[in-house]
Amino acid sequence: MEQRPYQHTPVMAKEVVEYLAPAPGKVLVDCTLGGGGHAEKFKSQNLKVKIIGFDQDVEAIAAAKTRLAKYDNILYIHDNFANIKKHVREKVDGILFDLGVSSYQIDAPDRGFSIRENGPLDMRMDKSQEFSAFDIVNTWSADDLTRIIKEYGEERFARRISNAICVTRNAGEVKTTAELKVIIEKAIPTWKKRESVTRVFQALRIAVNAELDNLKKALSDSIELLKPGGRLVVISYHSLEDRIVKQLFREEAKNGILKIMTKKPLTVSAEEIEANPRARSAKLRVAEKL
């Protein structure tokens, strides 16, 4: 497989390393390996830490293998992190989720995540999955489209946008992100068109990859896999994800299962935002297993 250079800067790496404290004999699970940015920080902190890395994107796994080639004691798993319990059979010291898509995925027009560059209506993180944004845009009912655009995109003009999609597709399939962008821009009555496009793309991405359901399952299973004193670190990039993490942490703290280490989520420093503007919306929450 031809590999484009994998560009992605690990977000809040210093904080992640501090909380997960890689050390000899420790086992850390990186549920979102991406290009191996955080995993590399773990290894540079301590060569003897064992890492189990997941990614559902085969290109990310390939990039991480290249970047981390000089390290041993790393297990690469190409699967959805929702299947964590299927692969991880031991109790572990720490688990990291750095959610969403990588810069590499966003910047590849052929993946269909970018709002800037034209590409196919795809948005699958796992290319072996058949269901893509094309299916949602071209086959879902106006009601279902409205529901996801409202729920996952928090877009107030959801109904207008889904109606416009349905009218356009009656004249022929909507195939590209550029076509979808034009439909959205024409449908809304405000000048904040870019924000609406971003929100609709977010909604489609969440629906295509069942992101919220997978996150809920993976977080619950991860808590079971932690040793007492083991830590769960989650970096989220939008309020829907963050709410799921916050609520689960609170519930499990009430049940006496977790201790919350970050009363409020940690956010990205001004210096890091300057160096890596894509990190700006990141929120980091940590909990420890009791």
Ligand X SMILES: C[S@@+](CC[C@H](N)C(=O)[O-])C[C@H]1O[C@@H](n2cnc3c(N)ncnc32)[C@H](O)[C@@H]1O
Report the interface residues with ligand X, using CB under 6 A. 8, 10, 32, 34-38, 54-57, 60, 80-82, 98, 100-102, 125, 214
Nearer to ligand X, 41 or 169 (CB): 41
Please report how close the Cβ of residue 10 comes to ligand X at its closest, in angstroms.
3
Q: Per DSSP, what are the bridge partners of residue 235? A: 98, 284
Please report how close the Cβ of residue 236 comes to ligand X at its closest, in angstroms.
10
Please report how close the Cβ of residue 46 comes to ligand X at its closest, in angstroms.
17
The contacts of residue 117 (CB under 8 Å, 6+ apart) are 109, 177
What does the block give as tokens for 270? 């001004």
Nearer to ligand X, 59 or 93 (CB): 59
Nearer to ligand X, 94 or 188 (CB): 94
Please report how close the Cβ of residue 100 comes to ligand X at its closest, in angstroms.
5
What pairing do the DSSP bridges indicate for beta strands 92-98 and 74-78? unpaired
d(CA 125, CA 78): 11
CB 122 within 8 A of CB 134: yes
Please report how close the Cβ of residue 190 comes to ligand X at its closest, in angstroms.
30
Nearer to ligand X, 173 or 224 (CB): 224
What does the block give as tokens for 179? 């076509």
Nearer to ligand X, 53 or 230 (CB): 53
Strands of the chain, DSSP E: 27-30, 50-55, 74-78, 92-98, 226-236, 258-260, 266-267, 283-289
Please report how close the Cβ of residue 171 comes to ligand X at its closest, in angstroms.
34
Map tokens 């670190």 to a residue. Answer: 233
H/E element, 160: helix 158-170
Nearer to ligand X, 75 or 167 (CB): 75
What pairing do the DSSP bridges indicate for beta strands 283-289 and 266-267? antiparallel
CB 35 within 8 A of CB 6: yes
